[in-house]
Amino acid sequence: MIVEVLNIRIKQVVRIISQIGIFRTIFLFGFVASFLLILFIKTEENKYEELMIGIFALSVLFIHLKREDKNKKLINELMK
């Protein structure tokens, strides 16, 4: 079952790369790789630890708020 899921994910990645083009894919990969490198370097310094935790928590919150399958009433209650 895991192999089947991985095959589906690989097909999705290939489809996305063919849709956005090779130049944009290389640019996006370089941008994400450099961002992750900076993130890992900065998290080794203790003074940026709380900042990185906050950025990660906010990014997860924004992803969940954009979901359309969640109960809008619950989101409205949380935003009050």
| Cβ neighbour number for residue 40 with a 10 Å cutoff | 10
Distant-in-sequence, close-in-space partners of 62: CB < 8 Å, separation ≥ 6: none
73: pLDDT confidence band, cut at 50, 70 and 90?
low
Residue 43 near residue 49 (C-beta atoms within 8 A)? yes
| Domain range annotation of the chain | 1-44, 46-80
Distance, C-alpha 54 to centroid of its chain: 15
pLDDT in tens, 21-65: 888 989 989 998 998 888 778 777 777 777 778 888 898 888 877
- Other CB atoms closer than 10 Å to residue 39's CB: what's the count? 13
Q: What is the pTM of this model?
A: 0.47
pLDDT score of 56: 83
pLDDT of residue 79: 67
What's residue 31's pLDDT? 92
Q: What is the pLDDT of residue 11?
A: 92
